[in-house]
Structures are given as structure tokens and as C-alpha cells.
Homo-oligomer: A and B are copies of this chain.
Amino acid sequence: MEFPELKNDLLLRALRGEEVERPPVWMMRQAGRFLPDYRVLREKYTFFERCKNPKLVSEITTMPVWQVGVDAAILFSDILVVPEALGFEVQMIPGVGPLLPRTVKTLEDVQAIEIPDVEVALDYVMKGIQQTRMDLKGEVPLIGFAGAPFTLLCYMVQGKGSKDFSEAKSFCFSQPEAAHLLLQKITDITISYMKAQIKAGAQAFQLFDSWAGLLGPDAFMEFSYPYLKQIMAECTEVPSVVFAKGAWFALKELAATGANAVGVDWNCKPGFAREQIGSEKTVQGNFDPSMLHAPIEVIERETKKMIDAFGKDKYVVNLGHGILPSVPVEHAKAFVNTVKTYRAE
């Protein structure tokens, strides 16, 4: 498919480590969370109606580009479409979160999982990507994404969100053989899924290991890292970001996955992140999402301070985790505009 030519390529240049006038900015969960126009759509359609309708996907994905002026769009979707494609129904319970009635408890449960053809099972994602690329008119690049294998295992074992995913972790520690087989199956489908997203039109992608920080350093190297690395080794067609929230202890290893950039959360001081990730890789992060509730002058001051500390090159400005639904639009705009008017002193 032919798409309109890209105008603002700041993100792609920053991910490739090229020199830029200023760092690009986007916000995790910018699509489908805090914008009032999104909340109108949420009243009219269920979560999966929104995810599976390419016109709605495009409308929600492009909304923060038109309304807040970010330098990249990230596809409106959910990491749990992969478990769903693997035969695990996902219910989104308003005010509670995801619920998976079918869960994994044993090796037999894992062996029973069949990997579908993602181009069929997740064709609605690819159609959403194509629609969005057309509608973006080349204004900014489109980022695709997937959940990391360990994070998806958490939901497939626990069956719902959790503060500590202790059941999922206990599954790994007590049945490592079953855990590794499950992680490999998720890895296999994720590689096909990312390749399909790229083929459909994703111009960069991010792998989200949202629950990596629940693991200790040894357990992370056993149950998460090898699978991140496999995915990064296979999906090299476009620039990539790996974000393992809470895995500050493995930033060096994450930089060695082959990803173009490593995301960091707000627990990491810029100096620590740079030192661990090295001067050759791009760093992405790490404004505390709760700080977008601070007065606008504080947001402006702290954002500027953050860019000064990370430096304008090999840096993508982002939050340290997803934007909160309660953030006023004017506050998000103040964050974005501070980056767009940034000049190094």
C-alpha cells in the first residue's frame, strides 16, 4: 500500500541516533485515555469495538496528534489482543480492568495453546494501521507495539490485573518448564505479530514489559530477557524501543537486546540511565505521569530540567509510564509544548 510521504521524521531520526534540532516527544497511552473526545467514543462503543473498527482505531490514534501536537502517533490497541488471539477471551470490566476467564495453571494448559495465523486472527490491527497511515497524511510516524512475553504471561496465569502478580510469578518459580514453554509460544506469535504490523505500515515499534520490575535481576534474566532479545533479533525492519518498567537493574542488558532505544521510568535519574545504557543508544523517558497534575509552571520547569539532564540528542521525551486519565489537556499540552520550544543553552 502507498502511504503519504512522512513530514516530521524527528522520532525516527532520534531512534536511529542521528542529530536533531530538538528531541521528539510522545506520551505512552496518549491514545485512548485522557482526551475528552475519546471519552465520548468510550460511552458509545465497548473497548473491543473500538479496537476492532479501523475507522475508530484511526480516529483515536490520530487524536493526540491533532489535539496535543505530539511528534508520533502510537496505535490505539491493547497488549491483550495477543492472548485473545491465542484463545484466551479478554473481558474489559469498567472500573476494574481486564478479566481472562480462561487461565494457565499447568504444563498441559500451555501445551493446549495453538498459535494462529496472526494475519487472520489480528487482521483488524493491520487494517487499523493502514487506515491510520492514510489518515495521518504523513504528518508524524506511526508506532506499533506489543506486550513482552513475561507481561503477557502475568495476565494469562493470573487472569486479571494485580499489584504483585504473585500467582504468575509463583507459576514461573514452581513450574519453570511450563513457564518457558508459554513464554516461547508468546514470543513466536509476537514475532509474527510485529512483522505483520511493520508490513501493514508501522514505522517503529515498542515492546512493553510493564511488569518486568516485579522480577529480581536473576529471575528477569531467566523469564523475560531471552524472549525480549529473540523478538528484537527478528524484528529489525524499523527502529524499535524496549521498555521494561522497573527493570533498572537490567538497563545494560536491555541496551544489548538490539533495540534502538531503551525506555526508562521515573525512578531512574538521567545520569544513571545514560551510564547504564551507554552513549550509543537512544534513551526514552521518563516524566512521572502524576507530575502532569502539578501547576503548569512546574511542568514546564521540570520538563526543561529533564531535557537538560538527558541531552537533546539520542533522546526521546516521554512519560515514565502511561498518561493518567485524569490529566487536564492543558497540562499535557504544556508538557509537549515545552519540548517543542526547547533550545539547548
Contacts and interface: CB of A to CB of B under 8 A. Distances in A.
Nearest to A167: B326
Contacts of A324: 166, 170
A246 interface: yes
Q: How many identical subunits does the complex contain?
A: 2
Contacts of A172: 290
A181 interface: no
Contacts of A170: 290, 293, 324, 326
Contacts of A295: 174
B161 A267 contact: no
- Among A267, A268, A290, which residue has the most Cβ atoms of chain B within 10 A? A290
Contacts of A268: 249
Nearest to A171: B293
A135 interface: no
Contacts of A167: 326
Interface residues of A, number: 36
20 contacts: A161-B163, A164-B290, A167-B326, A169-B290, A169-B291, A169-B293, A170-B324, A172-B290, A173-B291, A173-B293, A173-B298, A174-B295, A213-B267, A216-B266, A216-B267, A216-B286, A216-B288, A217-B269, A219-B288, A249-B272
Interface of A: 161, 163-164, 166-167, 169-170, 172-174, 213, 215-217, 219, 246, 248-249, 266-269, 272, 286, 288-291, 293-295, 298, 320-321, 324, 326
